């Protein structure tokens, strides 16, 4: 399912760039994605961080800029694509089917996305933003504030507030190791063909 999530995320953005640029050109963007499987509280929270070029190359090798994308389009496209892919992957799961139907019925504006503005002159900051999700573990040592041989106490911050979690030690270990990933970084589009870069198209 993690592979499906990343495939769909890349596919949605590539489709949007190709269909909604003002000249309707076949644009191939560059995309770097990082799969982030956990939240600050160590609960499973699968989401994808993505850096994408504002535009891309057309078949004749020219660059076409696309500085604006309507976020409403992304929300709806993402919702439809990921739910459809999940239904196809697990066609006999009745509980999942009910959840998918509910999402289509109740989430009429699509799924939530958090899109950042253009990064201008801050390429190092952009690189740091992505790589921190590749290298760091599920929880930093500094967030663990207590251990009494039975329970682990740790903190996390959300919207400026500090929250404290007390978790049984084996549950804590389970929540940390379940997020170990064999592959969390992927690239596709024009970045898959950069000289000296990865071999082949990484979305496949």
Q: What is the pLDDT of residues 48-82, one digit of tens each?
A: 888 888 889 998 889 988 878 888 889 999 999 99
Task: Specify the higher pLDDT residue, 182 or 43.
Answer: 43
Q: Residues 9-30: what's their mean pLDDT?
A: 88
CB-CB contact of 191 with 31 (8 Å): yes
| Sheet-wide strand order for 151-158 | 144-147, 151-158, 161-168
Q: Is 130 helix (H, G, I), strand (E, B) or coil?
A: helix
The confidence band for 115, taking pLDDT boundaries of 50, 70 and 90, is confident
Q: Computed from CA positions of residues 99, 72, 22, 122, in that sequence, does the dihedral angle turn out positive or negative?
A: negative
Q: Residues 80-85: what's their mean pLDDT?
A: 97
* φ, ψ (nearest 5 deg) of residue 149: 80, -10
Q: What is the pLDDT of residues 120-176, one digit of tens each?
A: 666 677 777 666 666 667 788 899 999 999 999 999 988 889 999 999 999 999 888
Q: How far is CA 65 from the centre of its chain?
A: 23
Binning the chain into helix, strand and coil, the percentages to the nearest 5 are 40, 25, 35
- Mean model confidence pLDDT for the chain: 83
What's the pLDDT score for residue 194? 44
How far are the Cα atoms of 120, 125, 165 from residue 146, in angstroms, in the given order? 42, 33, 10
Task: Specify the higher pLDDT residue, 204 or 80.
Answer: 80
Span of 17-21, 95-99, 114-118 with lowest mean pLDDT: 114-118
What's the pLDDT score for residue 121? 65
CB-CB contact of 130 with 34 (8 Å): yes
């Amino acid at each position: 399912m993690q592979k499906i999530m990343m495939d769909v995320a890349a596919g949605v953005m590539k489709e949007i760039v190709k269909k909604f640029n003002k000249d309707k050109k076949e644009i191939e963007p560059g995309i770097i994605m990082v799969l982030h499987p956990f939240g600050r509280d160590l609960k499973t929270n699968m989401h994808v961080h993505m850096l994408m070029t504002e535009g891309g190359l057309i078949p004749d090798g020219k660059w076409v800029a696309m500085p604006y994308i309507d976020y409403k389009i992304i929300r709806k496209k993402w919702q439809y694509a990921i739910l459809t892919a999940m239904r196809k992957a697990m066609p006999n799961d009745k509980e999942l089917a009910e959840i998918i139907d509910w999402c289509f019925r109740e989430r009429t504006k699509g799924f939530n996305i958090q899109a950042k503005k253009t990064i201008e002159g801050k390429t190092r900051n952009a690189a740091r933003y992505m790589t921190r999700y590749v290298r760091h573990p599920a929880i930093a040592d500094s967030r663990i504030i207590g251990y009494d041989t039975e329970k682990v106490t740790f903190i996390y911050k959300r919207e400026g507030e500090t929250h404290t979690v007390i978790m049984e030690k084996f549950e804590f270990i389970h929540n940390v190791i379940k997020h170990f990933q064999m592959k969390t970084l992927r690239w596709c589009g024009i970045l898959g063909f950069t000289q000296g870069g990865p071999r082949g198209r990484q979305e496949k």
